Chain A
Amino acid sequence: MRTRGLLFATVAAVVIAGSIAGAHHGAAGYDNKNITILKGTVTEWIWRNPHSEVRFDVTDAKGDVRHWSVEAPPPTMLTERGWTKASLKPGETLTFHINAAMNGSPVGILRKVVLANGQDLWAYPPADLLLELTTNGKAQ
């Protein structure tokens, strides 16, 4: 584990099953082998092609705020995975699991959000869960 001076940041060495399909613009710049976990307050949720985007603020122990912009799948994919345009709302404090940019910029690609009630909202689920979410497992 290492910290980045954030209120709550954990980097776990996790090899994610499956690929980040559709992340053609930025995938090469992300640390795809590690998950960074950030607790932040949503400032904007942009439901958009070619990729949706969530912006949130993370405050560290000193009270300094860092503004993050994290990409998510487009609406066609998110809709299948249980998301709507109203899934995230400004002001909500949530936990974001992301692959962060390797250059240290406050950007990344979203793997999942843990909602206030503890529910996981997956952006890029592991392959087996993706099948379950999008086909009810009936296609297996």
Chain B
Amino acid sequence: MARIICTAVIALFFVPLLAQTAAQQAAHVDLSGSWGYAVGNSFSPKGTAQDAGTPADGVPYQPWALALMKTRKTMSGPNATFNTRDSGTLETTNVTDPLEQCTPNGIPRILTWPAKFKFLQTPDVVYILYEYGPYWRPVWLNRQHPPADELDSSFFGHAIGRYEGNDTFIVDSLGYNDKTWLDDVGRPHTDKLHLIERYRRVDQGHLEVTLTIDDPGAYTASFTFGPRQVLARTTDFGAALWTCSIDQNKEFYRDISAPTLTPSAK
């Protein structure tokens, strides 16, 4: 008898709870799919990569950040230069992009890369996987950022997430180092970077990405890039991965870039 009563109490208590949890999970956005490619290579609120560093790009630079960006030798934007290497060592001689040395592109720059990304949603954490690297990062649900003195400074930061409505997932991240570029045109950021990513599933085939960049170390105000749409792809995520290799970069330069640059080949 006691067992029956006990079972009934458990059922009365837990079944609604489980139903509520299931309902909550069903209500949030389903981000499944294979998403890509890049959202763009310049995270300016307006203007193109070629406008980077001009008033047309709408980015509120601090003077030092603008000056630093203009010294960087990029492969995109107004400072873009052809990547050349020493003919003997094959070391890069002009481009200062850290990606040429296979330094992680980190967040948010990884979103500029023409490779796919994917969300793995679990009750406690959403993992975002990237074909480039291949890198991945956890976005913790139902959790706060650690206290400042416990926060590491890393390439991929510390991210917490929440669902909004039935179509949006919001990622709030900080705890970045300053070793990466914000985007392909060489915008800097500091370890004060606080990034908000909004992923809104418009429909089965479209994901809308919006970035709000707040870095009081490098910019005088926060600014927003997007929304920009990426598409659901038909190829399996991870069917091929994009691993950066300094040796392979050198091979490519030796085989293709160097003869393209040779002025007297004609």
Contacts and interface: CB of A to CB of B under 8 A. Distances in A.
Contacts of A51: 252, 256
Nearest to A29: B260
A33 to B, nearest CB: 16
A77 interface: yes
Interface residues of A, number: 36
Majority SS at the chain B contact face? loop
Interface stretch (B9-17, B185-193, B232-240): B232-240
B75 interface: yes
B181 interface: no
A117 interface: no
B232 A49 contact: no
A134 B239 contact: no
B88 interface: no
B114 interface: yes
Nearest to B253: A25
Contacts of A53: 252, 255-256
Given A49-B243, A76-B116, A104-B266, A26 B75 contact: no
B125 interface: no
Interface string B247-266: 01101110111011111111
A19 to B, nearest CB: 11
A50 B206 contact: no
A26 B257 contact: yes
B82 A101 contact: no
A113 to B, nearest CB: 17
A107 B257 CA distance: 9
Contacts of B205: 135, 138-140
Contact of A79 (B235, B248, B264): B235
A6 to B, nearest CB: 15
B235 A49 contact: no
Contacts of B264: 103
A48 interface: yes
B243 A69 contact: no
Given A48-B248, A50-B248, A134 B235 contact: yes
A45 to B, nearest CB: 13
Given A25-B75, A131-B231, 18 more contacts: A49-B244, A50-B248, A50-B249, A53-B252, A70-B256, A74-B242, A76-B116, A76-B240, A76-B242, A77-B114, A79-B235, A103-B260, A103-B262, A103-B264, A135-B205, A135-B234, A136-B234, A139-B232
Interface of B: 37, 75-76, 82-83, 114-116, 131-132, 204-206, 231-235, 239-245, 248-249, 251-253, 255-257, 259-266
7 contacts: A69-B256, A76-B132, A103-B264, A107-B259, A107-B260, A135-B232, A138-B204
